[in-house]
Amino acid sequence: MSSRIALATAARVLRQLRRDRRTLALVLVVPPALLTLFKYVFAGQEQTFDRVGGPLVGIFPFISMFLVTSIAMLRERTTGTLERLMSMPLAKLDLLLGYALAFALVAAVQASVTAAIAFGPLGLDTEGAIWLVILLAVANALLGMALGLFLSAFASTEFQAVQFMPAFVLPQILLAGLIVPRERMARVLELVSDVLPLTYAYNALERATADEVGAHLAFDVAVVCGAILLALVLGATTLRRRTA
Amino acid sequence: MMNSTDVTVRIDNLHVRRGGKVVLPGISLGVRRGLVTGLLGPSGSGKTTLMRAIVGVQILEAGEVSVLGRAAGAPELRRRVAYVTQAPSVYGDLTVRENLGYFARIVGAPAGRVEDAIATVNLGGHTDQVVRTLSGGERSRVSLATALLGQPELLVLDEPTVGLDPVLRRELWETFHLLASGGTTLLVSSHVMDEAERCDELVLMRDGRIVVVASPEALLRKTGARDLEQAFLALAEAS
């Protein structure tokens, strides 16, 4: 492993993203726009917006980075750049760290912009600290990135990779407790949601926005971090030096 | 007989299967140090698979491939061997300089090497152009330049001159020989016969088997043919 190569990789990924202005604009504009829509859809039910708005700030980066990473990684696989990298003196960890650094930075900016608009003009009112929400947003971005990287190995076209979003991300959002509290779901669904990482990400965000900072929050964060590591290890196994 | 210090690549009874089909049914070959060895044969004859095996990115069914005295694909060879695939594997959304700058950081090449590599493939006028907007031939030159950054001991080039203008093609072949005279071993695949003449040694493949290994002169002598095209035809018909 080499910090020089990891940093060079992060710089390279950011440079690619910078050249794709429209994607960058979408990453930064869509979350606050959706949050605005959300506020007006729930007009008259301020408590719903206040309950879900804060956690949503931290969930958007999960979705964005999942999509961006699965496409970026699929491109590396299909254009042969991954094979080239794998034949060069680059450790798999350098590549993973490079991607993680780049997308953590983008996620921090995305979550900050979204939070600024949510807590500013949209008047979102929560108990907890905003910086904690942003920190959790970065963790969720890394979770999305790691899952996207792993799943990109199972897509052979960009069409397939994009379909992984509704297939792997939407069910997690539905079951995380954001739409319906988990204890009100059927027992089976609740059990399923127990093993989905986004459930813990959402729990952590809910606790952070409610200013319930304590052992429960620490546990949720630990589960999210464990899930990131597991997904990264699984992702690393799909980076093959030798192929058939 | 070649002794081991003259040989950069040694292949012994190599079997490779790709997509359920036998591509290399057990071949043996030595590639000599400091020469430009041309790998020739029709499309589908197993050239790319053989190159992938030498670089160490191919899963082997049986046999041995050793490169610079190590098993092909050994971690320390990643600095000493460079491989250019047929399709240019560079980032389309980065400029020429950004692409080379990134790969130079990975191989630990000094910054000046980027400019040298760009000059060698004659892309000086496109340094700050985004690769996606380059022509096919220009893109494959970016890919080729990448392989020159780390000053490898073995350069494996899969059809590096396809679609290039004849003047540049000649210049690149001069570069290949310059590198070889400095001790670099080059293995270059091609299906163009006029390039065969420019090689020090030729390996002719057909249906995953090696038909002949010889220098161009020896091949002409052996077959009594007028040119290499005729020599290859005579050998292919006899095999």
Distance from CA of B132 to the nearest CA of A (A): 12
- pLDDT score of B194: 81
Cβ pair A87:B55 closer than 8 A: yes
Q: Please name the residue of chain A whose CA is at the shortest distance from the CA of residue B55.
A: A87
As a whole number of angstroms, the distance between CA A237 and CA B214 comes to 42
Q: Please name the residue of chain A whose CA is at the shortest distance from the CA of residue B75.
A: A89
Q: Is the pLDDT of residue B5 over 70?
A: no
DSSP SS3 for B63: strand
Residue range A77-119, pLDDT digits in tens: 999 999 999 999 999 999 999 999 999 999 999 999 999 999 9
Mean pLDDT of A127-140: 92
As a whole number of angstroms, the distance between CA A12 and CA B101 comes to 9
Residue B91 at interface with chain A, using a CB cutoff of 8 Å: yes
Q: CB pairs under 8 A, 24+ apart, for B164-171? A: B164/B137, B164/B140, B165/B137, B168/B122, B169/B195, B171/B122
Q: Is the pLDDT of residue B1 over 80?
A: no
Q: What percent of chain A has pLDDT over 70?
A: 100
As a whole number of angstroms, the distance between CA B231 and CA B212 comes to 11
Residue range B54-72, pLDDT digits in tens: 999 999 999 999 999 999 9
Assigned token pair, B182: 């400095």
Residue range A24-80, pLDDT digits in tens: 999 999 999 999 999 999 888 888 888 889 999 999 999 999 999 999 999 999 999
The residue count for chain A: 244
What residues of A are in contact with residue B156 (Cβ under 8 Å)? none
Q: Is the pLDDT of residue B140 over 60?
A: yes
Residue A239 at interface with chain B, using a CB cutoff of 8 Å: no
Assigned token pair, B5: 């210090």
Tell me which amino acid residue A153 is: A
Distance from CA of B58 to the nearest CA of A (A): 5
Quickly list DSSP for B182-206. Answer: TT-EEEEEE--HHHHTT-SEEEEEE
As a whole number of angstroms, the distance between CA B78 and CA A5 comes to 14
In which element (H, E) is residue B67 found? Answer: strand B62-67
- pLDDT score of B201: 96
If you compute the radius of gyration of chain B from its CA atoms, what whole number of angstroms results? 18
As a whole number of angstroms, the distance between CA A190 and CA A178 comes to 13
Instruction: Determine whether B157 is exposed, middle or buried from the number of CB atoms within 10 Å of its CB (0-12, 13-18, 19+).
Output: buried
The residue count for chain B: 239
- Name the pLDDT band for B166 (thresholds 50, 70, 90): confident
What residues of A are in contact with residue B89 (Cβ under 8 Å)? 79-81, 83-84
Cβ pair B58:A243 closer than 8 A: yes
As a whole number of angstroms, the distance between CA A241 and CA B75 comes to 10
Q: Please name the residue of chain B whose CA is at the shortest distance from the CA of residue A6.
A: B106
Beta bridge partners of B22: B17
What residues of B are in contact with residue A12 (Cβ under 8 Å)? 91, 94, 98, 102
Q: Which of B73, B107, B146 sits opposite A242 (nearest CB)?
A: B73
Q: Which of B17, B56, B89 sits opposite A81 (nearest CB)?
A: B89
As a whole number of angstroms, the distance between CA B190 and CA A100 comes to 40
As a whole number of angstroms, the distance between CA B172 and CA B198 comes to 11
Q: Taking CB atoms and an 8 Å cut-off, how many pairs form between chains A and B? A: 78
Tell me which amino acid residue B121 is: V
- pLDDT score of B20: 87
Q: Is the pLDDT of residue A1 over 80?
A: no
- CA–chain centroid gap for B79, Å, is 16
Cβ pair A12:B18 closer than 8 A: no
Pseudo-torsion of CA B215, B216, B218, B219, nearest 10°?
Answer: 110
Residue B58 at interface with chain A, using a CB cutoff of 8 Å: yes
Distance from CA of B105 to the nearest CA of A (A): 6
Residue A158 at interface with chain B, using a CB cutoff of 8 Å: no
Residue B44 at interface with chain A, using a CB cutoff of 8 Å: no
- Name the pLDDT band for A145 (thresholds 50, 70, 90): very high
Q: Please name the residue of chain B whose CA is at the shortest distance from the CA of residue A2.
A: B106
Closest CA to A54 of A201, A192, A224, A222: A201
Average pLDDT, chain A: 92
What residues of B are in contact with residue A81 (Cβ under 8 Å)? 89-91
In which element (H, E) is residue A85 found? Answer: helix A81-86
Cβ pair A89:B107 closer than 8 A: yes
Residue B84 backbone dihedrals phi, psi, to 5 degrees: -115, 115
Distance from CA of B94 to the nearest CA of A (A): 6
Mean pLDDT of B178-186: 94
What residues of B are in contact with residue A9 (Cβ under 8 Å)? 102
As a whole number of angstroms, the distance between CA B232 and CA B225 comes to 9
- pLDDT score of A125: 87
Beta bridge partners of B66: B10, B71
Assigned token pair, B218: 């020896």
- pLDDT score of B83: 95
Q: Is the pLDDT of residue B4 over 60?
A: no
As a whole number of angstroms, the distance between CA A157 and CA B181 comes to 44
Is the Cα torsion angle B216, B218, B219, B221 positive or negative in sign?
A: positive
Closest CA to B29 of B213, B222, B225: B213
What residues of A are in contact with residue B58 (Cβ under 8 Å)? 242-244
Residue range B27-49, pLDDT digits in tens: 999 999 999 999 999 888 999 99
Mutate which of B67, B97, B102 to disrupt the A interface (most A C-beta within 10 Å)?
Answer: B102
Cβ pair B78:A89 closer than 8 A: yes
Q: Name the DSSP letter for residue B59.
A: P
Work out the number of other CB atoms within 10 angstroms of the CB of residue A225.
Answer: 15
Instruction: Determine whether A44 is exposed, middle or buried from the number of CB atoms within 10 Å of its CB (0-12, 13-18, 19+).
Output: exposed
Tell me which amino acid residue A141 is: A
- B8 half-sphere exposure, CB direction, 13 A CA radius: 23
Residue B132 at interface with chain A, using a CB cutoff of 8 Å: no
Collect all residues with Cβ–Cβ distance below 8 Å to A41 and sequence separation of at least 6: none
Q: What is the pTM of this model?
A: 0.89
Q: Which of A11, A16, A89 sits opposite B91 (nearest CB)?
A: A16
DSSP SS3 for B58: strand
Cβ pair A80:B98 closer than 8 A: no
Cβ pair A242:B93 closer than 8 A: no
Closest CA to B29 of B44, B5, B8, B56: B8
Distance from CA of B153 to the nearest CA of A (A): 14
Residue B74 at interface with chain A, using a CB cutoff of 8 Å: no
Report yes or no: A205 and A55 within 8 Å, Cβ to Cβ.
yes
